[in-house]
Amino acid sequence: MRGIVTLQQPSPRGSHLHRHSSPQFSPAQQQRPQISPPGGGRRVTHEEFRSAMATVVNQSDPRNHLEALSKIGEGSTGIVCVATEKHTGRRVAVKRMDLRTQQRRELLFNEVVIMRDYHHDNVVEMYSSHLVGDELWVVMELLQGGALTDIISFTRMDEDQIATVCLSILKALTYLHSHGVIHRDIKSDSILLTLDGRVKLSDFGFCAQVSEEIPRRRSLVGTPYWMAPEVISRLPYGPEVDIWSLGIMVMEMIDGEPPYFSDSPVQAMKMIRDNSPPRLKLEHK
């Protein structure tokens, strides 16, 4: 059955939050079968959604153990601050999102659950999540190296650098796939770096769970230019779609942008679906 998709308004390529100038598609209902917000097919009220979030977040007030909170960025879902943990002195990032203003609230629920349950050296670490009034606060490791997108936008990566990114993300995907988790939004926006060059996967709102009972998915989910053909065609798919998206991200690292980036998202999706796999547009030695 065809699901409903929502279209995110484009935002400038290069900003630290929601950086890519391409829309994202997501199902109206989350696909992770064992954990999902209440409501079934009906619209969930703010109170119901807040109650659902309360079941998966920490019950403490983060303001009691964080200090020197200062804003460093802003995106379509909320703001990002840096803060210091009082008892450890550790610097952390704090994402603050107003539940009442979210266009896709279910993605917040999904991301919190995924980051709470799965931990790996190449996956961004969430330390805790909290409800502060009607805001969701996510306390996570501070990655001061920025996003891979920022590097791609301003410099040409060499082969060793590209190989390092690929190895790190393949390790993260191997871990997630071994637990039946499909990321479904692999792209340079979703890759964050530390100052010492470590590479980490982030942005888990579009994740889906597969299992023996539900081994394949059909939802149209992700960011168009990086989508696998079977996702666009709504054919049954599994973790292999993340590998396609990683391949497109490799082309992005080499060419500076993914294939068909000059075309509209809809036109790009048609060409990905109907054409042979894309090739690099530049000649490389």
Going by the annotation, the residues of the binding site for ATP are 95
End-to-end CA distance of the chain: 46
Two tokens at 38? 């209440």
Q: Which has the closest alpha carbon to 262: 22, 2, 12, 17? A: 22
Q: Which residues, other chains included, contact 262 with Cβ-Cβ below 8 Å and sequence gap of 6+?
A: none
Supply the residues annotated as catalytic.
185
- How far is the C-alpha of 229 from the C-alpha of 271, rounded, in Å? 9
- What are the φ/ψ torsions at residue 64 (nearest 5 degrees)? -75, -20
The values of phi and psi at residue 109, to 5°, are: -60, -50
Torsion (CA) 51, 56, 60, 63 in degrees, nearest 10: -90
- Fill in the amino acid letter for 93: A
Going by their DSSP bridges, the two strands 191-193 and 199-201 should be labelled as antiparallel
Q: What 3-state DSSP class applies to 171?
A: helix
